[in-house]
């Protein structure tokens, strides 16, 4: 169990009666070294189970080939799907990944960012904590190492940002409802202006405008915490109106499922009386009945793209720090909650 030391270059060189540098070069396939020597070295290295000490290497070259990832909450399906993409793409490109959680705590987020740079990660992938307002510290760190934001991003931080095309996705969802013949389309969104909520709301408005449907304030409901419970609560409010909506667009699946539960309780027919569309394509959307029409966000693609852009920056360093937004396409998955036959 005690940590046996690994074979080192020195040991190899002694065994082969070569210098350390020759052995090092041989293993790194340096052109100066003769073929025969290379083969001898490689053979013995394999035999003696040599593995380079990455610490010594990283220590010298100041490159660790480690990427840091900071997310608000790892046990969230969408997040872990993104992480999956990150892990896969990083591995493919020879990088290792350290993951941390900010727990939606801004202070902790900066702390993690600091220990990660201290640790020597080559770059950081980050999804911002909710209500991140003080970006100063982050900007400081951005001066030292490249950061790529994904999912929860902020225009205040000048760097590459990978997001889904929230606005268009919402537009498509609402357009779909309009094409069903719905005219009084309610939206359930977040109160505080998170990037996502804002964009989705914008898409909602654009769809209504484009199709010449009046925007009715009464049908625009907001909540601090966009949860299943609140989806249900707000739907109850909608049902108590004298003129009920004929469709509900909830900006998260959970809220949409809450809506369905509420509609169920009051025996409202879905989608005939009121159609429902959510956002995320979480597993639950297929479990609820009727199955929920929702926007599929390709999480792993976001992850992969983020890694790709970060590595691109790492390997072609430039000094101009600038905002660059990359939008990942989504698709609308139509299910029973908006399927009119």
Partner DNA sequence: AATTTCTATGCAAACGTTTGCACAAACGTT
Partner DNA sequence: AACGTTTGTGCAAACGTTTGCATAGAAATT
Would you tell me which residues interact with DNA (CB under 7 A)?
Answer: 5-6, 8-10, 17-22, 24-25, 27-28, 32-37, 50, 52-53, 56-57, 59-61
Identify whether the C-beta of residue 275 lies closer than 8 Å to the C-beta of residue 303.
Answer: no
Of DNA, a copy of itself, none, which one does residue 233 interact with (CB within 5 to 8 Å by kind)? none
Distance between CA atoms of residues 174 and 185, nearest Å: 8
Long-range contacts of 39-43 (CB under 8 A, 24+ apart): 40/16, 41/12, 41/16
Strands (E), 123-258: 123-126, 147-150, 160-164, 185-190, 220-223, 247-250
- The distance of closest approach from Cβ of residue 279 to DNA in the complex, given in angstroms and rounded to an integer, is 47
Short-list 137, 146, 151, 172, CA closest to 322: 146
Please pick, from the candidates 7, 13, 22, 81, the single residue that binds a copy of itself as defined by CB under 8 A.
Answer: 81
- The distance of closest approach from Cβ of residue 115 to DNA in the complex, given in angstroms and rounded to an integer, is 14
Of DNA, a copy of itself, none, which one does residue 119 interact with (CB within 5 to 8 Å by kind)? a copy of itself
Q: Which residue has the tokens 């792993």?
A: 300
Please pick, from the candidates 47, 115, 193, 209, the single residue that binds a copy of itself as defined by CB under 8 A.
Answer: 115
Residue 340 burial by Cβ neighbours in a 10 Å radius (0-12, 13-18, 19+): exposed
**What is the CB neighbour count within 10 angstroms for residue 114?**
13
Does 120 participate in binding a copy of itself (rule CB under 8 A)? yes
Residue 3: left if φ>0, alpha if ψ -120 to 50, beta else—which one?
beta
Would you give the binding string for a copy of itself spanning residues 288-327, x where CB under 8 A is met? xx---------x-------------x---xxxxx------
Residue 36 burial by Cβ neighbours in a 10 Å radius (0-12, 13-18, 19+): exposed
Does 158 participate in binding a copy of itself (rule CB under 8 A)? no
Of a copy of itself, DNA, none, which one does residue 83 interact with (CB within 5 to 8 Å by kind)? a copy of itself
- The distance of closest approach from Cβ of residue 18 to DNA in the complex, given in angstroms and rounded to an integer, is 4
Of a copy of itself, DNA, none, which one does residue 8 interact with (CB within 5 to 8 Å by kind)? DNA
Task: Compare residues 54 and 215 and give the one whose CB is closer to a copy of itself.
Answer: 54
Please pick, from the candidates 19, 30, 74, 237, the single residue that binds a copy of itself as defined by CB under 8 A.
Answer: 74
Distance between CA atoms of residues 76 and 235, nearest Å: 24
Residue 169 burial by Cβ neighbours in a 10 Å radius (0-12, 13-18, 19+): buried
- The distance of closest approach from Cβ of residue 109 to DNA in the complex, given in angstroms and rounded to an integer, is 24
Residue numbers of the site for a copy of itself (CB under 8 A)? Answer: 1-5, 51-56, 58-59, 62, 64, 66, 73-77, 79-81, 83-84, 87-88, 91, 96-101, 114-115, 117-120, 143-146, 257, 264, 283-284, 287-289, 299, 313, 317-321
């Amino acid at each position: 169990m005690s940590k046996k030391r690994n074979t080192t270059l020195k040991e190899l060189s002694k065994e082969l009666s070569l210098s350390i540098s020759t052995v090092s070069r041989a293993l790194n396939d340096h052109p100066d070294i003769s073929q025969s020597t290379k083969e001898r070295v490689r053979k013995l290295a394999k035999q003696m189970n040599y593995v380079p000490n990455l610490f010594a290497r990283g220590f010298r070259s100041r490159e660790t080939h480690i990427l840091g990832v900071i997310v608000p909450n790892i046990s969230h399906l969408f997040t872990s799907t993104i992480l999956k993409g990150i892990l896969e793409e990083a591995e493919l490109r020879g990088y290792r990944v350290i993951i941390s959680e900010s727990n939606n705590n801004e202070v902790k987020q900066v702390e993690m960012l600091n220990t990660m740079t201290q640790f020597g990660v080559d770059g950081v992938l980050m999804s911002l904590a909710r209500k991140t307002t003080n970006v100063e510290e982050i900007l400081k760190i951005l001066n030292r190492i490249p950061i790529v934001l994904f999912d929860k991003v902020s225009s205040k931080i000048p760097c590459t940002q990978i997001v889904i095309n929230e606005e268009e996705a919402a537009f498509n969802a609402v357009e779909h409802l309009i094409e069903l013949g719905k005219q009084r389309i309610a939206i359930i969104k977040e109160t505080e202006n998170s990037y996502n909520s804002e964009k989705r709301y914008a898409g909602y408005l654009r769809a209504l405008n484009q199709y010449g449907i009046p925007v009715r304030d009464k049908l625009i409901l907001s909540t601090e915490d966009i949860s299943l419970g609140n989806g249900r609560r707000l739907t109850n409010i909608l049902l108590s109106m004298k003129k009920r909506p004929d469709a509900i667009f909830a900006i998260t699946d959970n809220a949409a499922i809450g809506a369905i539960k509420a509609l169920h309780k009051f025996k409202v027919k879905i989608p005939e009386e009121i159609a429902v569309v959510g956002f995320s394509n979480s597993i639950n959307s297929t479990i609820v009945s009727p199955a929920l029409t929702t926007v599929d966000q390709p999480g792993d693609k976001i992850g992969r793209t983020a890694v790709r852009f970060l590595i691109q920056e790492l390997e072609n360093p430039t000094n101009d720090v600038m905002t660059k937004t990359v939008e990942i396409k989504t698709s609308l998955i139509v299910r029973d909650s908006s399927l009119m036959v």
